[in-house]
Amino acid sequence: MDNISTETLFVILGVLILVSAYFSSSETGMMSINRYRLRHLENQKHKGAIRVSKLLATPDKLIGLILIGNNLVNIFASLIAGIIAERLYGDAGIFYAGLLLTFVILIFAEVTPKTLAALYPEKIAFPSSILLNILLKLLYPFVLAVNWLTNGILKVIGISSEQREQHTLSSEELKTVVNEAGGLLPKRDQSMLVSILELEKITVEDIMIPRSELQGIDINDDWKIIQKQLTQANHTRVLLYRDSIDDVVGYIHMRDALKLLSKKQFTKATLVRAVKELYFIPEGTTLNVQLLKFQHAKERLGLVVDEYGDIQGLVTLEDILEEIVGDFTTTMTPATSEEVNLQPDGSYLVDGSANIRDINKEMSWNFASDGPKTLNGLIIEHLEDIPEANLSVRVSGYPVEIIDVSDNMIKTVRILPEFYQEIEETEE
């Protein structure tokens, strides 16, 4: 070192600090890069992404390489700074050189490059991967030795390098990613993607038309009555049953009925022969599963049955699709809904049979929907009794006045959402 001029040592020290900054930024850039975007770019045959993916496939070797290089550079930088300080200020200068070098390395070789790499990981990681690949080949024996020692220490404390955390997202985390997409996705697309992820939490009971509201045609009725009911049907598929919905026969597609009519073969006997077999759905089936079952079975509707085989309601393919894209027809509003009616005083008269999920979604209310499916059921569960009329109670934070009770059911309630009080559940 005595033969090297002080000016040359200053140049060497500057180069070493730059090299240290390179290793610091490479480490942060490699570890900060978005793994899912990296995978996408790799599928697009992006050369930089392919190089980075190969390096990240063995993170222990990558970190070992970067730390070996960074520590070697910083140690040599300390030695050079000490020699320079000793030449300029004697033995006392070595102490001050250590303090000054710590500040310089901290600012110019650590914080600044790492901050830059955290802000622009791809711009740092892709080009630096070229040199890192070369260094990994040159220093592979040293990297392997360091990894062998560190993995041995980890095994002593019960940790294996094979127990690497996989970079996968749960459905909840994926929903967060979609919601945080901001301007990258239109609001409607975000809502649809979140709704798709929600299908695994929603069961067929949540969206089915309940048994009490099922409409069909009794084939034991007079033929003229059946014809009139067919002409007034609001759906293209109509249920047929004998005397009771429990003895359901199947369903008739209006297209088939029109074919029979056009051929002048429209009789009760031909109508019964044209009936299509019903598809049955076990209660508790989630919508994502049922959507696939509808697809495989080439069906568009099914009857939900409980464990005893009793009919609970009806679900159609359109009902599931509406959970994703929203209602195909009209949207519930206070002015037009048959179940929710706005009153002059600002309260709402609500049908007790109204589906909780539907009124929550359309009215932006927050009634508990993880138990009973109807407002009637929710209130009865809350009170643990069938109440009398003119009783007021707070349910899920909403003041609810029971207006009409008949046939052991709450028929009408009044809700005052402006007095809603959020309920905080505390864990014991």
Q: What is the pLDDT of residues 380-412, one digit of tens each?
A: 999 888 888 889 999 988 999 999 998 889 999
Q: Which CATH architecture has domain 204-325?
A: Roll (3.10)
Q: What is the DSSP letter of 208?
A: S
CATH number among 3.40.50.2300, 3.10.20.600, 1.20.59.20, 3.30.465.10, domain 340-419: 3.30.465.10
Q: Would you kindly state where each structural domain of the chain is located, as residue ranges?
A: 6-156, 204-325, 340-419
pLDDT of residue 335: 37
pLDDT of residue 293: 93
pLDDT of residue 294: 92
Lowest mean pLDDT among 121-130, 252-261, 332-341, 412-421: 332-341
Q: What is the pLDDT of residues 214-247, one digit of tens each?
A: 888 888 888 888 888 888 887 788 889 888 888 8
- pLDDT > 70? residue 336: no
Contact by Cβ (8 Å): 237, 253: yes
- Hey, what are 113's tokens? 């490059």
pLDDT band for 116, please (50, 70, 90 cuts).
very high
> Looking at this protein, which amino acid is placed at residue 332?
M
Alpha carbon distance 139, 152 (integer Å): 20
pTM value surpassing 0.75: no
How does strand 244-253 pair with strand 237-242? Answer: antiparallel
pLDDT of residue 164: 54
- pLDDT > 50? residue 177: yes
Q: What is the pLDDT of residues 305-314, one digit of tens each?
A: 988 888 998 9
Q: Pick from 322, 323, 275, 316: which is nearest to 299 by CA?
A: 316
pLDDT of residue 291: 92
